[in-house]
Amino acid sequence: MSDAPTEKGRATRARIVEGAAEVLREQGVAFTTLDDIRGRTGTSKSQLFHYFPGGKDQLLLAVAQFEADRVLEDQQPHLGRLDSWESWRQWRDAVVERYELQGDHCPLGSLFLQVGRSGPGARAIVTGLMRQWQEQLARGMRALQANGLVPSDLDVDRTAAALLAGIQGGVTIMMSTGDSSHLKAALDTGIEHLRTAGRTEGSGGNRCGTDGAPPWP
């Protein structure tokens, strides 16, 4: 995938991707031209097409992959060690901080709307990112189960999917409104759900359980 015969070539290619990512984060993909990228990275037109023969689309795809990798990296080491309530809290704070710092432009979101359904490439990047992210969340939940902090009958995969969706939506809303409260609400409610889920049947007596609410499969 990343063909770079010489050392200098690899460096230049990396510089292009990183610089392009910067510009795209600042201006948004819709308002970014190859000349902007060229200017920022101190390269010439021919270099851009030398390293990305597929043109702008290929470059955008490379940037998308670059950003996708960053997403999970920026949540480490917390995301990898979600085995206690404290670690979950630290992870939550890391996520909030990361996206509050990022400002009001979602690199990936906009990237994919531009690249669109152009081939399986773009879709594969998002799909892969989502899968890994959700897997790590699920693993964390299972760690809680193993430690007896979460009931073992919790549907981990579904809960992880819901939490991931909440984060995603919280970020989306923040990008549009500039307000991070939805992201926080999604994270906190999602984590709170871990502490309360599965405790409605067979526990206390009074207002629990079956008020006609179906579990609807």
Give me the residues that bind a second copy (CB under 8 A), please. Answer: 28-31, 84-86, 89, 104, 109-110, 112-114, 116-117, 123, 126-127, 130, 148-149, 151, 158-159, 161-162, 164-173, 176-178, 181-183, 185-186, 188-190, 192-193, 195-200, 202-208, 211-216
Asked whether position 30 contacts DNA by CB under 7 A, the answer is no
- Tell me the C-alpha distance between 68 and 21, whole Å: 11
Collect all residues with Cβ–Cβ distance below 8 Å to 128 and sequence separation of at least 6.
68
Tell me the residue type at 103.
Answer: G
DSSP classification of residue 116: T
Work out which of 1, 7, 207, 211 binds DNA, going by CB under 7 A: 7
Asked whether position 45 contacts DNA by CB under 7 A, the answer is yes
Work out which of 57, 74, 83, 188 binds DNA, going by CB under 7 A: 57
**Both tokens assigned to 168:** 């995603």
- Tell me the C-alpha distance between 63 and 8, whole Å: 19
Looking at the Cβ atoms of 47 and 132, the one nearer to DNA is 47
Cβ 4 to a second copy shortest distance, Å:
29
Cβ 40 to DNA shortest distance, Å:
13
Residue among 125, 130, 133 nearest 75 (CA): 133
Work out which of 5, 202, 204, 205 binds DNA, going by CB under 7 A: 5
- Tell me the C-alpha distance between 20 and 111, whole Å: 12
- Tell me the C-alpha distance between 43 and 15, whole Å: 9
Q: Which residues bind DNA (CB under 7 A)?
A: 4-9, 12, 32-35, 42-47, 49-50, 55-57
